[in-house]
Chain A
Amino acid sequence: MSMTEDTATPKRPSGFWSYANPVKFLGLSERVLPALWGLAALSLIVGLIWGFFFTPDDFRQGSTVKIIYLHVPSAMMAINAWVMMLVASLIWLIRRHHVSALAAKAAAPVGVVMTLIALCTGAIWGQPMWGDWWAWDPRLTSFLILFLFYLGYIALWEAIEDPDTAADLTSVLCLVGSVFAVLSRYAVNFWNQGLHQGASLSLDKEENVADVFYFPLLVCIAGFVLLFLALVLYRTGTEIRLRRTRALQAREARL
């Protein structure tokens, strides 16, 4: 900790990149996490109660419209979680920061749960509205494919023992998978046109939703974003501590 040691290291990263240091990252996340949990809980409680009990029923859809407060935010986060994993994977591949790889690993199970929530709430809404739990609508289909991508990504993390190899391979898979996920999205659009399903099935949210529904929805989306951030920070901290425990155990075994 002396001055000479400080000057010996060529360049100390500052600002954003300094949080690639696990100790600094853990310090920050410990300070931020209580506030994040609190804000997430607050906005979810406010948004959901507002949405469920203090908005009118839709004149066509009745009370089923209220599932929108779970469906839309979780669907958004399912996609955003993958984008976050993509960015974290790129940072790992380019700058080799371990925290980044662990954050990508930590986000995947959260993303898969968000995808499942979106699919399940969609099915629950679809049963009374479309008369069916499932339809091969492009949106639904591409979400199912996204779900498969998540499963493959998590399975690859689990299958490889060496942590650095696993981080490298999953990052490559995440990059390639992103390209193919986008490709599949448009391929599915094309395939669906061939089946003559019109846009009547998909709900154009931005234009259709009236203000009464829109504001509680915004609060719910904010709640899901905060919840996702809190979960990922928490899980990344767990991963860092897990790795540190393993290193300590390995050192003890050597003595």
Chain B
Amino acid sequence: MTALLRRDLKLAVRAGGGFGLGLAFFLIVTVLVPFGVGPQSELLSRIAPGILWLGALLACLLSLDRLLALDWEDGTLDLLATSPLPLEAALGIKALAHWITTGLPLVLAVPVLGILLNLPAQGYGWLVLSLLLGTPALSVIGTFGAALTVGVKRGGLLMSLLVLPLYVPTLIFGAEAARRGATGMDPLTPLLMLSGITAGVVAIMPFASAAALRVNLR
């Protein structure tokens, strides 16, 4: 398991792995928002938590089609399916690797981008905390979408259509927690709901992903 994790991390960080792409995309989205809605700082600071959550979600989505597609093409997935490691565990590890290379950098970058959007000072901690709790769910749900569409040629758009509705609960609770944190309200309830979703999804979704991948590998 650790070998698989190390391999995925190495592949992601080395050339062509697209490690920084998600981060760069997040930065560009954040920069483009003020061009779209205008530079008034009170407007920006009001929508900043939602925009940052949405940007992180899209950056996660963007890197999903690399998650399984390359391993599918060169046959690594067939090897994983026949290895003694259960496919559920392998997909869990892959989701973890995706989170470490995509979700975690986003969480770490978000305070810097918060400055660009004039996020209120009290909101930083809650925003980082909510993203830290929520992005693992995005990776795990995304792995399911990738497993469903791995057999489809050019399935990237299709995967977005399948995955985005599944992201709705995570986005609602995550952005709500960040918004309440930024406006000085008590963000505990949405944070708890968000952690509940993440925990449930991490526990259950690898089984659904493995079921879908087995069908595709048949």
Contact = CB atoms under 8 A, between A and B. Distances in A.
Q: Do A and B bind?
A: yes
Contact of A194 (B144, B165, B176): B176
Contacts, number: 74
Interface in A156-174: 156, 159-160, 165, 168-169, 172-173
Interface stretch (B41-49, B107-115, B210-218): B210-218
A176 B165 contact: no
Interface stretch (B28-36, B63-71, B166-174): B166-174
Interface size bucket, B side? Answer: 20 to 34
A31 B193 CA distance: 51
A152 B165 contact: yes
Question: Main secondary structure on chain B at its contact with chain A?
Answer: helix
Question: Which of B165, B166, B173: most chain A Cβ within 10 A?
Answer: B165
A176 B164 CA distance: 13
Contact of B165 (A145, A169, A191): A145
Contacts of B144: 176
Contacts of A148: 161, 164-165
B140 to A, nearest CB: 12
A156 B148 contact: yes
B62 interface: no
Question: Main secondary structure on chain A at its contact with chain B?
Answer: helix
Nearest to B161: A152
Interface residues of A, number: 25
Contacts of B165: 145, 148-149, 152, 177, 180, 184
A174 B180 CA distance: 33
B162 A191 contact: no
A169 B215 contact: yes
Nearest to B189: A190
A240 B144 CA distance: 30
B151 to A, nearest CB: 7
A156 B218 contact: no
B147 to A, nearest CB: 9
B152 A160 contact: yes
Contacts of A176: 144, 166, 205, 208
B166 A187 contact: no
19 contacts: A152-B162, A159-B155, A159-B158, A165-B215, A169-B148, A172-B148, A172-B215, A173-B212, A175-B208, A176-B208, A177-B166, A180-B169, A187-B168, A187-B172, A190-B190, A191-B172, A191-B176, A194-B179, A194-B180
